[in-house]
Chain A
């Protein structure tokens, strides 16, 4: 603070200082934003521009085989698409497949993590073996299970159950939905296991010790201390799993090629557009419907995430 005797110049100095502060704050804001901008711009350009194109395409009557259009048709693609029973089937498959795969993976993954969270001979090797399915390329996983595990003639499962008096079962052909879910659970349980294992290893031992001193039972410790502590990790696993499992495409492509009972929404949209349907306008309309539906689901999922962040802040 300067001790200025002239009131006029003091006013001017204060105004200048205020302006300088405002200027500094404005610059500081941008200096803070600057590191974010490249990633933000890149993401907006690559992910949002195709979406804008899609909105335009969805309003066209546009087919490649046989060639027709593009002609503007307004919302016709939407009214037509919304009531298509095959589309509604695909929505059902998508919801069912994602729910089943995420929950089963979480269940199996938690079990595996609890098994691994103790000292025993060769623990590192057992963990290594258990992680491996997550690292396998989906195309390879699908082909491997279809041809070498589930196949009625060459498959290992049938080679095991046939001597027990069962008939050979062509699993993929007869139970396409559950065959695919099995492979998804095989691949994603290890991922859930990693997350839960991280949670278990972050458990403070002093609380466990206190519970022990108070003679709490093993089961009591698990349900009242371990499980609540694992909850945020489980939520994280569910959200991440759902993001990736909603988009499953490769497994379906190599295992059933989108046969009955296994066409989820991504595969359906693919079939309608560049996967043989070549009805670009209609496919774009389906994409828009899917995006709107996912935004609704995502809002719910993000609320879960946001509670995770809040916990992170208070921690």
Chain B
């Protein structure tokens, strides 16, 4: 993972060249991060300071953070939105893993004859634009009384992330040495035991990377949430969009809301980034 001096020498770069490229990287990284930094900065401004020519110096205030977390009767509140989002996203991510782990096992360890077709079927469902299915989904949900429920989003987020999870896990499971599983089978370990005691410890980083991606995509999902569950029971992206009222005039408040909304996923992503790179390299093509 880390580069040794030998690697550097292999690359044929001088010490100064490496240092210069390091500075370039820093500048590019700062540029990429700047919009987020700016948004967080704006969330500490008064609306007066935010809605003017951009300025760096101002008197910071927590006023807008307070305003955005206040509960206004009849509107989706901050705490409700976060509760709903966490509930929906965590349940759907767990469901994805519960369904995808055995499926990936059947595709990789003792693959069924046409495992490739099955895998293609899963991936092909990702190519259907979700917007093309929204009309029947809306009508079916209405008929079943599922509009404005947590359940409808749990089901749809599970379906949305399942193909990606099956695909990634399938690749990870192919990394598990066959002999280990066969040894476990000789000892009479069942499928559940094989998955739990033999495979999961090996593929844990991959499973974590998969779960994280599912978490990100589900947490950030807006379209289904706003179409099928737009009122009180809704999620964080919908809550952010309710803070867009009079354009421009609530920029600081909107910034505070946005910062809160991205926080869980950003922290999770920061903590797990190395694991994600490993997961992608293991799962992707190797």
Query: Chain A: residues with CB nearer than 8 A to chain B?
Result: 29, 32-36, 38-40, 42-43, 46-51, 53-54, 57, 112, 115-123, 125-140, 143-145, 147-149, 151, 153-156, 159, 186, 189-190, 194-195, 197-199, 201-202, 205, 208-209, 212, 217-218, 221, 232-233, 236, 243, 246-247, 249-250, 253-254, 265-267, 269-270, 273-274, 280, 283-284, 286-288, 290-291, 294-295, 297-298, 301-302, 305-306, 308-309, 311-312, 315
Contacts and interface: CB of A to CB of B under 8 A. Distances in A.
A36 B36 CA distance: 42
A49 B140 contact: yes
Contacts of B6: 205, 209
Contact of A294 (B36, B38, B127): B127
B29 A145 contact: no
Given A53-B139, A205-B10, A250-B222, A35 B191 contact: yes
Contact of A249 (B9, B128, B223, B258): B223
A40 B121 CA distance: 9
A212 to B, nearest CB: 5
B134 A273 contact: yes
A136 B266 contact: yes
Contacts of A306: 116, 120
A147 B240 CA distance: 14
Contact of A46 (B155, B220, B227, B251): B155
B241 interface: yes
Contacts of B89: none
Given A118-B18, A202-B286, A306-B116, A312 B174 contact: yes
Nearest to A125: B29
B285 A47 contact: no
A280 B126 CA distance: 23
Q: Is the interface of A mostly helix, strand, loop or mixed?
A: helix
A145 B103 CA distance: 40
A120 B22 contact: yes
B254 A147 contact: yes
Given A132-B269, A247-B131, 17 more contacts: A29-B113, A35-B103, A35-B191, A36-B102, A118-B7, A129-B29, A130-B32, A133-B35, A135-B266, A136-B220, A140-B240, A194-B280, A205-B7, A218-B11, A269-B132, A274-B227, A291-B132
B206 interface: no
Contact of B118 (A40, A49, A139, A199): A40
10 contacts: A29-B113, A33-B106, A51-B128, A53-B136, A118-B18, A186-B32, A221-B12, A232-B285, A266-B130, A311-B285
A132 B263 CA distance: 11
A9 to B, nearest CB: 33
B285 A236 contact: yes
Contact of A298 (B127, B236, B255, B278): B127
Given A131-B269, A137-B240, A194-B280, A154 B248 contact: yes
Contact of A42 (B39, B135, B162, B285): B162
**Which among A118, A122, A125, A195 has the greatest number of chain B C-beta atoms within 10 A?**
A118
A127 B123 CA distance: 30
Interface in B1-54: 1-3, 6-13, 18-19, 21-22, 24-26, 28-30, 32-36, 38-39, 42, 50-54
Contact of B237 (A35, A120, A137, A315): A137
**Which among B6, B42, B220 has the greatest number of chain A C-beta atoms within 10 A?**
B220
B222 A47 contact: no
B63 to A, nearest CB: 18
Contact of A273 (B38, B39, B135): B135
B176 interface: no
Nearest to A239: B123
A287 B24 CA distance: 46
Closest 4 CB pairs of A and B: A120-B22, A198-B281, A35-B102, A287-B132
Contacts of A119: 2-3, 7-8, 18
B107 interface: yes
A179 B111 CA distance: 46
Contacts of A116: 25
B137 to A, nearest CB: 5
Interface in B248-266: 248, 251, 254-255, 258, 261-262, 265-266
Contact of A50 (B33, B124, B133, B166): B133
Nearest to B285: A232
A43 B124 contact: no
B281 A199 contact: yes
A254 B244 contact: yes
Nearest to B22: A120
B222 A138 contact: yes
A148 B42 contact: yes
Nearest to A309: B116
Given A47-B133, A312-B171, A40 B103 contact: yes
Contacts of A156: 34, 38, 54
B32 A129 contact: yes
A115 B24 CA distance: 8
A38 B102 contact: yes
Contacts of B123: 302, 305
Contacts of A130: 28-29, 32-33
A38 B122 CA distance: 13
B269 to A, nearest CB: 4
Given A136-B262, A156-B54, A309-B116, A54 B136 contact: yes
A249 B21 contact: no
